[in-house]
Chain A
Amino acid sequence: MILYLLKRTAVFLVSTAVAGVLVFAFMAVLPGDPAEVALGVNATPEALAELRRQFGTDRPPVAQFLDWFGGLATGDFGTSYVTSAPIGPQISDRLGVTVVLVGGGMLAALLIAVPAGTFAAVHHRNPLGVVISAFSQVGIAIPAFLAGILLVFVFAVQAQALPSGGYVPLAEDPVEWFRSLLLPWLSLGLVQGAVLTRYVRSAVLDVMREDYLRTARAKGRGRMGALWRHGLRNAAVPVVTVLGLQLATLLIGAVVVERVFVIPGLGDLLLNGVAARDLLLVQGVVMVLVAAVLLINFVVDVAYAALDPRLRGAR
């Protein structure tokens, strides 16, 4: 297990570094010089050179990259060429909001999918189970931002029970904070829950065919009791993998959902950065999101091995 862990860690670190090179290289091929953009066409060569020195863009690309990438480890994302504000604090402020949004979305998805999927598996031969499967097929076809718009229509426009957008910080008013996040959580959770329901269903169905479950039933446990004691942990292995892939999808879905509900998260920061052509900011946010996806994949691989020791040697 330790060897496996070391190997996965190495793969994760190398991937993150290569991703950093890719993001940097991509943004560095940009036509245009940030100093020229900042000073306009009438700038003197001396002023341009001075600003380039300040920005650090007069140095060779490799030095710029090492400086930028090395800074990331300490939370230093550089200083915006556009607003002259440090980028790190902006990202960390927004990251918290996005993590809460994604975490709540995942929780909502699980709360929907585990009962619905288990139910559909246990009742796979009767109409109600089939109805759940059909609903999950429809849910998969609805993007999170569309679910968001529909939820706003039902709960904000029609019922007028919840706000249609905006964000209230937790420290300011916990109740309003919860209300402002409820619909965004649901929009992410409903769609991912629909996807997850299918996997939970098929995982539970597979487990139900296993001998050890029949043994548990023979010992006198009820159907749900046997599933609860012996089935769910085994069904968890394939579900955890999907969960990891979904967490990455949720993170990206959050970017769009933040736009629908006007929530000041990372996605909002990213899109504002693009609008303001604040490229160092865009570069920083993209790097954080890509690193997060890689980290999720890494954690899933390790969790997978921890849940099922047979898989450790397989890769």
Chain B
Amino acid sequence: MKGRVNAGLIAGGVLVGLVVAMALVSFVWTPHDPELVDAANKLREPGDGYLLGADKFGRDTFSQLMVGARTTLYVGIVAVGIAALIGTPLGVIAGMTRLRWLSELVMRVNDLVFAFPALLLAVMLGAVYGAGTLTAMIAIGVATVPAFARVARAATMQVMVTDYILAARAAGRRRLPVAFRHVLPNIGSMLIVQASVSFAIAILAEAALSFLGFGTRPPTPSWGRMLQESQELLFSTPRLALWPGLAIALAVLGFNLLGDGLRDYLDPKLRRIRAER
């Protein structure tokens, strides 16, 4: 049963669409070179081809925002991908198995990983291997695994008590085919919702890491680092903090609304089952 297309879904879709469009367009066109240091345009006011002005190095803010969207999506996609690819099988196994200890073990390991937030993992990885986009993506991805495993396990357990699973098992289907043909398609909608919510959290984490200098390294633009660079100029040029801040907030809002909207659209029954963070 499908729900109505709701306002949140549309608003979220539009916001996410804008971010994606900005990122895609940045591959073929930006108003200026986002990495070009140009002393002549230092702290240039908005106008004359510089839509949002330029920063202390004379780099065009709008161009940086566009390429920053690319960085944000790139980190989000890889991090959520890592989390889904590791977390989903773990959750499905924990939900399908009749071995209580195995299910318990998966959940305990999950709780343990949960105690290592993305920021700490990224700082540790950064201390050992040097900080960068790769360490940030891995850290955010690993830290998001428990969220996927929990949702996948809870959803799998709901599916496992249904009659069609019983029928499939009675017909002699083995576990692996049951998992692929019956469980995965039925928990898919919850995983998509979780992916959207996790994407929002990944954007927040990437911004925080870049802000601290543990994310994408200069000169590649990133919203978090734009904010960090703007902080010292807050007294004189506050607009430099405004735009990346707005970009982060709108992108996160977009993915959150999209997640909530999808939840209602894909399965109205799920409205009450809130995905754990």
In the bound complex, do residue B127 and residue A282 qualify as a contact, i.e. CB atoms below 8 Å apart? yes
Q: Judging by beta carbons under 8 Å apart, are A157 and B235 in contact?
A: yes
Asked if A141 is an interface residue, CB under 8 A from chain B, the answer is yes
Q: Is A163 an interface residue (CB 8 A)?
A: no
Interface string of A132-168 (1 = CB under 8 A from B): 0000011011110110011011000100000010000
* A residues in contact with B120, CB < 8 Å: 252, 286, 289-290
Contacts of B253 in A (CB 8 A): 137-138, 140-141
Of B230, B234, B245, which is within 8 A of A157 by CB? B234
| The one of A15, A29, A138, A140 that contacts B128, using a Cβ cutoff of 8 Å | A29
CB-CB under 8 A from B175, the residues of chain A are: none
How many whole Å from A148's CB to the nearest CB in chain B? 9
B123 — which chain A residues lie within 8 A by C-beta?
A: 270-271, 274, 282, 286
Instruction: Report the separation of the CA atoms of residues A19 and B245 in the bound assembly, to the nearest whole angstrom.
Output: 35
Q: Let me know if B73 is at the binding interface, CB within 8 A.
A: no
A30 at the interface (CB under 8 A from B): yes
Give the CA-CA distance A261 to B108 in the complex, in Å: 36
A15 and B257 contacting across the interface, CB-CB below 8 Å:
no
Q: Is the interface of B mostly helix, strand, loop or mixed?
A: helix
| Residues 219-260 of chain B, each 1 if its beta carbon lies under 8 Å from chain A, else 0 | 000000001001100110010010001001110110011000
Residues of B within 8 A of A245 (CB): 277
B101: shortest Cβ distance to chain A, in Å? Answer: 14
Contact across chains for B231 and A141 when beta carbons are under 8 A apart: no
Distance in Å from the Cβ of A186 to the closest Cβ of chain B?
16
- Chain A's closest residue to B125 (CB) is A26
Assess whether B115 is in contact with A146, with CB atoms less than 8 Å apart.
no
Q: Which residue of the partner chain, among A142, A271, A279, A297, contacts B115 with CB atoms under 8 Å? A: A297
Question: Which residue of B is nearest A29, CB measured?
Answer: B128
Chain B interface residue number, banded? 35 or more
Closest to A289 in B: B120
A288 to chain B, nearest CB (A): 11
Asked, given contacts A259-B212, A260-B231, whether A149 binds B249 with beta carbons under 8 Å apart, the answer is no
B204: which A residues are within 8 A, CB to CB?
A: 143
Interface size on A, residues (CB 8 A): 45
A23, B127: Cα distance in complex, Å = 12
Q: Closest CB of chain B to A138's CB: distance in Å?
A: 6
A255 within 8 A of B: yes
Shortest distance from the beta carbon of B12 to any chain A beta carbon, whole Å: 10
CA distance A289 to B124 in the complex (A): 12
Q: Is the CB of A143 within 8 A of B208?
A: yes
Q: How far is the CB of B203 from chain A (nearest CB, A)?
A: 9
Residues of chain A within 8 A of B119, CB atoms compared: 252, 255-256
Whether a CB of chain A sits under 8 angstroms from the CB of B79 is no
Complex Cα distance, B208 from A22, in Å, reads 24
Residues 176 to 211 of chain A near chain B (Cβ within 8 Å): none
Q: Is A43 an interface residue (CB 8 A)?
A: no
- Per the bound structure, the CA–CA distance linking A293 and B231 in Å amounts to 30
Chain B nearest CB from A201 CB (Å) reads: 13
Residue contact A141 to B128, C-beta cutoff 8 Å? no
Question: Which residues of chain A are near B248, meaning CB under 8 Å?
Answer: 141-143, 146
Q: Which of A137, A143, A259, A293 contacts B256 (CB 8 A)?
A: A137
A19–B117 alpha-carbon span in the complex (Å):
12
Assembly CA distance A56 to B230 (angstroms): 44
How far is A18 from B127 in the complex, measured between Cα atoms in Å? Answer: 21
A164 to B112, CA, bound (A): 37
Closest chain-A Cβ to B17's Cβ sits at a distance in Å of: 16
Residues on B with beta carbons closer than 8 Å to the beta carbon of A131: none
A109 on the B face (CB < 8 A): no
A224 to B257, CA, bound (A): 31
Complex-state Cα separation, A150 to B230, whole angstroms: 12
B13 within 8 A of A: no
> How long is the Cα–Cα vector from A138 to B8 in the complex, in angstroms?
12
Q: How far is the CB of B241 from chain A (nearest CB, A)?
A: 5
Q: Among residues 1 to 19 in chain A, which have CB atoms less than 8 Å away from a CB atom of chain B?
A: 11, 15, 18-19
Taking the closest CB of chain B, its distance from the CB of A37, in whole angstroms, is 13
Closest partner residue, chain A, to B213 (CB atom):
A271
Interface members, chain B 32-61 (any A CB < 8 Å)? none
The answer to whether A141 and B256 touch across the interface, beta carbons within 8 angstroms, is: yes
3 pairs of A and B residues whose beta carbons are closest in the complex = A141-B253, A141-B252, A293-B115
Q: A138-B253, A145-B227, A282-B127 given; name 16 further pairs at CB < 8 Å.
A: A11-B108, A22-B112, A23-B124, A138-B249, A140-B256, A141-B249, A141-B250, A142-B252, A143-B207, A252-B119, A256-B208, A259-B211, A282-B123, A282-B124, A286-B120, A290-B120
Binding site for B on A (CB under 8 A): 11, 15, 18-19, 22-23, 26-27, 29-30, 137-138, 140-143, 145-146, 149-150, 152-153, 157, 164, 245, 248-249, 252, 255-256, 259-260, 270-271, 273-274, 277, 279, 282, 286, 289-290, 293-294, 297
Residues of chain B at the chain A interface (Cβ within 8 Å): 108, 111-112, 114-117, 119-120, 123-124, 126-128, 200, 204, 207-208, 211-212, 227, 230-231, 234-235, 238, 241, 245, 248-250, 252-253, 256-257, 277
Could you pull out 25 A-B pairs where Cβ atoms are within 8 angstroms?
A11-B108, A15-B111, A18-B112, A22-B112, A22-B116, A23-B124, A30-B128, A137-B253, A137-B256, A138-B249, A140-B256, A142-B249, A143-B207, A143-B208, A145-B227, A146-B207, A149-B227, A149-B234, A150-B245, A256-B208, A259-B211, A274-B126, A277-B127, A282-B123, A282-B127
